[in-house]
Structure 1
Amino acid sequence: MMNKVFKILGIGTLALLASCTNNNSSSSSISSSSSISTPTSSTLSSSTTSSSIDDNTKIKDEDKVVPTSTKMDYVDHANFGASEYDESKWFKNTLDKVAFPDPQVIEVGDTYYIYGTTDRTGSKTLDCYSTKDFNNFELHMDIYKPQNEWSEGVLFAPEVYEIDGTFYLFYSDNMKSNGLRYINVLTSNSPVGPFEEYKGTDYYGNELDGYKAPIFRHNDSLGLSVLDQNLFIDDDGSMYMYYSIYDTGIMQYIIGVSMLDPVTPDWDTYKILVRPGELTPKTTSTNMLIWEAYQGFKVAEGPFMVKSPVNGKYYLTYSVNHYPDRYYTVCYAYSDEPLGDFTKPYKKGEQWTNLLFGYAGGMKSTTVYDKWEGFMSGTAHHCIFKIGDQYMIGYHAHKNRKDSSNGRFFGLDRLFFNEEGTPYCYGPTDSIEPLPEKISGYKNIVLDAANVKTENITNPEYLTDNFVPEHYNLPVESSREATLGSGLSYVEIDFDKEYLIGGLSIYNSCFYEKALSQIEFIKFDNDNNIIDTVFPSEYLNDEKEFIFPGSAFTYDIKDIKAKRVIIGFNCGSETNLSEISIYGKTA
């Protein structure tokens, strides 16, 4: 917890006036006012909501008065930076705490366990980290040390699942006799081990012993290696496994198979589901989705299946390109069935149409590639999990934020589903972000707003649609920003009850030239205000004219009671904002 604070505290109305400077010469003024009714959203993991506009209600003049003093206790992270923050409310992807490529996260009780390829031992053993807040981590070393007869002991991408009180750990390793990589199974009565090779029977009563041979041997018939397994258990208890086939010299592609129990695949259901660069797995060399195939050896690996809570469809998410590359990225395909025909969203002439998370630009020496250096790099081989009602995406990223030479570390960000049921993410982020409600006690109460009014703002619905554009070069994202007109602009957010407010994030534009530079104050009733605040300089690269995607003006507030929020801006020219999030809990 930071011990540096401003004095600030109050109850009632919040008003904010911003001063804007940018390089956009356009300065057309928009004088209309509007009112937006925002449907209630039960959780942060619910779908994006669109707001209706009512032009009949205006913000009162007395609510626009500029404050001159403050009484409140708050932390402005533009002044104190992002190195210190209240770990009970916020997290940040510092990429220096959990040295795990290929991470997977499970929850047991009130603790989260992170598994991954163990760089500490050169992949010779398996470690685990545990955490309750994703800020502080405990390392559990050598939860498995291979001593079996068959393997070389090069352990990749472990995943753990608790099934009927037993923890099953799936991983891949090379066989000494033929050099091929196979999937094996370990078990333990604890999430931190020790794990031992599975010894028992399969669904049919056949004896299995993971000490003597790998449990899964189907790839013997292919003569190819397999890796990056993912187990998916559907709502009805049916079980499926997905993994990547390493077709040497050609590509890695993803298959799926139904499971009769945790150690018995039904090989009659084996099916190729996704090939990199291809719209359908029936083709191998069209490269219609060129962003999935930036190099000669094409890669689709690290599959992770998630079922949409909105439309019930199955989203097969996977990593493309090579893990040392900045453009190692998560894409997706969807189907009505766990082993159905999967569709990759595609529109001719557009790029990255099936992107879920990560980099979305060209190859080396292109504009986006150069700008992302120092921000994030290689953010893929992911997992999807929940903290309470909030979906999260966990992933590895390059520690030095440009390539894999300094190793890969664990990161996480928030994942949502839109009204159609499609998953999307806030991130990757390098800024201070709010912890989910289950940990912090706070949620984004903007999603529960009873009414939203605006003046002199174009597309104001984008300020409260629970979406933050990440890629300025993708019009499908970058078009979803609100534009503040030249001069004074305002937003009023009203709630149907009083909340305790503990923080704010005002997400900036994804366009460097349209970004908001300064907020002069945030006003509450009774002389309770935030004053003299600027956008954090650590999220800007002026040399490259780049603003870190998903970055925000961030304020940590000692709880204040409020029922409405008024935000005002004073811009010399048109300026964009992405989203307003207010973190509160019932008063």
Structure 2
Amino acid sequence: SCGEKKIYGGFELGHFDGSDYESGYDTSLLYRNTSELLGGDSGVIWVSKEENEEFGGYFYQYMSGAGGVGNTGIPTGEDGRIHESARDGKFYSFCAVTRSKDLNDWQLCGAADNGFGVKVSMDAWMTSAFWAPECIYDKTTNKYYLYFGAKARVNDGGIEGAEYVSNGWYGGVAVSESPAGPFVLATSENIYGDATAENPNGEILDEKNPTFMFEKYFDLASMTGNDTPHYNYYADPTPFRDENGDLYLYFNKQGGQNGFEVWGMKMKDPVTPDYTTLSLCIGGGTLNCVRALYKGDPSKNAPIYDGAEVNEEYPNDPAYPRWKSSSWNLTNVWADGTVNVEKFEDGTANPDFNGHVGIGSRGVREGAQVFTNKDKDGKTVYYMSTTLTGVQSADYNIHWATSHSPLGAAGDEFTFPKNRFFGMILGVDGANDFMSNLGHVQFLNVDNEWWIAHWEWPEPFGTRDIGRLYGLAKMVWIEDDRVNFPVPIANGPTLSLQALPSVYTGYTNVAGEATITVTNGDKSTIKYLNDGLVVTTNYYQSREFKSDKSTTITLTFDAPKRVRGILIHNSYNYDYAFSEIDGIRFRLSEAPDYMDASAKNCYIRKLGFDKAYYNADQAWIQPGAAAVATFDELKVEAIEIDLSINKLLGSGKQIRISDIEILGA
């Protein structure tokens, strides 16, 4: 009952107390976003030992040359040293490659040159602006393919063998047998084993030309105005392998009539696009659009270029070539007929108005990623994440749109949800004064644990782009009655202590496997104690456990768990946040080795909450922060957590808990 004195039997558990992280913490289990790695727009992959015995057991990160770490056209000589002049240079190197076992501590490992991972010959088509690379492993060829956008050298007709006609940004692919490189530009020789071999489109690949040249297939000479060709600005490529093995590639096209757009196409092999599938997936935001509709008549389907076959799945009406921006209608009307307007005709506010408008007049949609989950009917849902602004905006957040087709389909286009905050995976919030400009991320799913490698500005909410710093956030899936599919949401951004990936620590969050009871509290909110969601935005603050009285929370496991730590995430709201945990009791299935065999119970008294995570004068608390304890492994049957209504930071009359993590196995 309220005020009852708790009895703590057994032995007092020695532990790390997370109430003062500056005094040190267990780096084998925990991390903080300490903002020490400069970069930006990186692709990140996980390489297992099963995939690659020599290089496995690491995450690999491929850095954009635009992220503050890059080689701006400085050649390297035969001696491996940097040379000031191209006259005695042997190759150019690009893309800093780093690796990490835990997604937190990174080491330079690029095998091409001084930590860079890509070697480009002196007469290759590109020499600068190696941007936003992403890597994928192909089981069939046992090779790693690095997709990137880069600026082509000027081709005035004097470069022998060069067929490209623009001096803008093209799409390229580099290939390596190792995730650390050296990667080299894709050629027929290193892809097909023969310098004269043709790819499935009948092309011979060489270093003199970009891997993807849209002008070879489409009548770009007829392009006028803002309906610009894809080679004018190709950037942010992201490969996606579907569950059936099909490979897709998505990229940004700048300069279309709708600003920055996200396009996609199916691939015939890792270096060969099926141009007949080219589709506008997400249009620019100047029209407050929520989806892009193809204008063409499917009954008038014809080959998209001379020599191509008719594609029934992706119809091409000659009156509306599907590769043109102008052939797509950007609508602000959702599939159910609801119009995305700020006010209805009667003048009342539209609660679903989401403001899907990009920054300025260019309507930026960039840094796309695609991943999947299943809806309640068992159908695959394709999630396309993208920003709604450019990197100069503090609100460079990550949002999702969905479809049941990897490229969208008529009647099932990629569509943003009706509420912008509902559709935000990772972003800034009113309670966040410590991290901004988070976008262009990498989603990672390792052993069914999802992570987001993201970015931040060194000067939060600043006005100058002086580079970006690396950050990490866990992602979880939650249920919401408004949709029939799981909703992705980040447990971040954070600056506080958080649990490292289980693939590194060997311990995952097992709280979801526990049955939970409470002595006091709103029974309808118990489910939020172990749903995995750490509330870091105002939009989700209702998804917390609530109790008007002191309470004991008990987590009971069907079978004993090997436990090494606990994180009790505080309320998003300062008024309802605890100042400390009264105590934690562990019921053990067996005594630890260092205790007598009869020691089946242990406890922690007064687990503190770090004062660095809140400001009493401003009544502010850092979202996502937790009371933390780590210790030697215990075999645990149940855990009891005691909380007092008299130990709140603010003036609220209610205890609220965002989430409980139990690091176990």
The equivalent position to 1:561 in structure 2, one of 621, 635, 656, is 635
Give the 3 Å change call, closer, same or farther, for CA 294–456 of structure 1 in structure 2: farther
Distance between the aligned counterparts of 1:203 and 1:249, measured in 2?
Answer: 31
Deviating more after overlay: 261-270 vs 215-224: 215-224
Aligned pairs for 1:208-223 within 5 A: 208-209=205-206, 211-218=207-214, 221=220, 222-223=228-229
Aligned equivalent of 1:334: 402
In structure 1, the residue corresponding to 2:126 is in which secondary structure? coil
The equivalent position to 1:247 in structure 2, one of 240, 255, 259, is 255
Q: How many angstroms does 1:330 deviate by? A: 0.6
Distance between the aligned counterparts of 1:225 and 1:134, measured in 2?
Answer: 31
Does residue 1:88 correspond to 2:62, yes or no?
no
Distance between the aligned counterparts of 2:203 and 2:510, measured in 1?
Answer: 55
The equivalent position to 1:355 in structure 2, one of 424, 428, 439, is 424
Q: How many angstroms does 1:542 deviate by? A: 4.4
Does residue 1:577 correspond to 2:577, yes or no?
no
Q: How many angstroms does 1:343 deviate by? A: 4.1
Are the aligned partners of 2:607 and 2:629 in contact in 1 as well (CA < 8 Å)? Answer: no
Are the aligned partners of 1:500 and 1:584 in contact in 2 as well (CA < 8 Å)? Answer: yes
Are the aligned partners of 1:77 and 1:536 in contact in 2 as well (CA < 8 Å)? Answer: yes
Give the 3 Å change call, closer, same or farther, for CA 533–292 of structure 1 in structure 2: farther
Q: Deviations over 1:402-448 (max 9, x none)?
A: 34644212222222333533322222222211123222121222111
Aligned pairs for 1:280-295 within 5 A: 280-282=291-293, 283-284=329-330, 289-295=354-360
Aligned equivalent of 1:171: 148
Aligned equivalent of 1:468: 534
Q: How many angstroms does 1:74 deviate by? A: 0.4
Distance between the aligned counterparts of 1:333 and 1:497, measured in 2?
Answer: 40
Are the aligned partners of 1:232 and 1:240 in contact in 2 as well (CA < 8 Å)? Answer: yes
Q: Deviations over 1:236-264 (max 9, x none)?
A: 21111111111268521111111111121
Aligned equivalent of 2:159: none
Q: How many residues align?
A: 506
Aligned equivalent of 1:274: 282
In structure 2, the residue corresponding to 1:576 is in which secondary structure? strand
Give the 3 Å change call, closer, same or farther, for CA 337–582 of structure 1 in structure 2: same
Distance between the aligned counterparts of 1:82 and 1:580, measured in 2?
Answer: 23
Aligned equivalent of 2:200: 203
Are the aligned partners of 1:462 and 1:481 in contact in 2 as well (CA < 8 Å)? Answer: yes
Give the 3 Å change call, closer, same or farther, for CA 570–70 of structure 1 in structure 2: same
Does residue 1:417 correspond to 2:477, yes or no?
yes
Are the aligned partners of 2:494 and 2:623 in contact in 1 as well (CA < 8 Å)? Answer: yes
Q: Deviations over 1:501-542 (max 9, x none)?
A: 210111111112222222232234667332233321222244
Distance between the aligned counterparts of 2:615 and 2:234, measured in 1?
Answer: 41
Aligned equivalent of 1:137: 106
Which residue identity does 2:391 align to in structure 1?
Answer: Y
Which residue identity does 2:435 align to in structure 1?
Answer: M
In structure 2, the residue corresponding to 1:117 is in which secondary structure? coil
Q: How many angstroms does 1:182 deviate by? A: 0.9
Distance between the aligned counterparts of 1:372 and 1:113, measured in 2?
Answer: 29
Distance between the aligned counterparts of 1:583 and 1:313, measured in 2?
Answer: 30
> Based on CA coordinates, which of the two structures has the bigger radius of gyration?
2
The equivalent position to 2:266 in structure 1, one of 258, 266, 271, is 258
Aligned equivalent of 1:231: 239
Does residue 1:193 correspond to 2:181, yes or no?
yes
Aligned equivalent of 2:70: 121
Aligned equivalent of 2:39: 100
Give the 3 Å change call, closer, same or farther, for CA 549–236 of structure 1 in structure 2: same
Q: How many angstroms does 1:198 deviate by? A: 1.1
Which residue identity does 1:447 align to in structure 2?
Answer: G
The equivalent position to 1:75 in structure 2, one of 2, 16, 21, is 16
In structure 2, the residue corresponding to 1:258 is in which secondary structure? strand
In structure 2, the residue corresponding to 1:78 is in which secondary structure? coil
In structure 1, the residue corresponding to 2:441 is in which secondary structure? strand
Structure 1: runs of 5 or more not aligned: 1-29, 32-60, 361-367
Distance between the aligned counterparts of 2:22 and 2:245, measured in 1?
Answer: 43
Q: How many angstroms does 1:300 deviate by? A: 0.5
Which residue identity does 1:151 align to in structure 2?
Answer: M
Aligned pairs for 1:372-451 within 5 A: 372-373=432-433, 375-403=434-462, 405-419=465-479, 420-449=485-514, 451=515
Q: How many angstroms does 1:173 deviate by? A: 0.9
TM-score of the superposition, structure 2-length normalised?
A: 0.71
Are the aligned partners of 1:308 and 1:423 in contact in 2 as well (CA < 8 Å)? Answer: no
More strand by share: 1
Q: How many angstroms does 1:284 deviate by? A: 4.6
Identical aligned residues as a percent: 25
Distance between the aligned counterparts of 2:363 and 2:443, measured in 1?
Answer: 24
The RMSD of aligned alpha carbons is 2.6
Give the 3 Å change call, closer, same or farther, for CA 69–492 of structure 1 in structure 2: closer
Are the aligned partners of 2:292 and 2:414 in contact in 1 as well (CA < 8 Å)? Answer: no
Does residue 1:551 correspond to 2:520, yes or no?
no
Are the aligned partners of 1:88 and 1:133 in contact in 2 as well (CA < 8 Å)? Answer: no
Which residue identity does 1:74 align to in structure 2?
Answer: H
Q: How many angstroms does 1:70 deviate by? A: 6.1
Give the 3 Å change call, closer, same or farther, for CA 135–303 of structure 1 in structure 2: closer
Q: How many angstroms does 1:576 deviate by? A: 1.4
In structure 2, the residue corresponding to 1:461 is in which secondary structure? helix
Does residue 1:155 correspond to 2:143, yes or no?
no
Give the 3 Å change call, closer, same or farther, for CA 249–267 of structure 1 in structure 2: closer
